[in-house]
Amino acid sequence: MNMNDPTYYRAIWADVMARAIRDTEAGTDVEREATLDWIFNGNRQAINSFEAVCAWCGFAPDGARQRLLQRDQFRSCFDQWPGTDRTRDERTAA
């Protein structure tokens, strides 16, 4: 792949997203908590934020979160995660 081709970066960020799903659904407790924090509470302005990765992949971040929560295993992990007050408020709305 040519590093000047935008699809090169899209493929990398798609791999990051796939890894985040794996870490949440099948990772260690530390990986799961870090990944859920990145998805739901991370620094939204960071170049490697969930929002930025979604932008590279062509996803709307809120839509991606909702799709992830539709996955049974992901939702189960999310429901067990303490999260933050903001996330708990969103959880009750979902």
Do 20 and 35 meet the contact criterion of CB atoms below 8 Å apart? Answer: yes
At 60-73, the pLDDT tens digits run: 999 999 999 999 99
At 41-62, the pLDDT tens digits run: 888 888 889 999 999 889 999 9
pTM as predicted: 0.80
Report how far apart, in Å, the C-alpha atoms of 50 and of each of 2, 4, 67, 72 are. 24, 23, 14, 21
Q: Which domain holds residue 61?
A: 6-93
* Structural domain includes residue 21: yes
* Structural domain includes residue 1: no
Total number of domains constituting the chain: 1
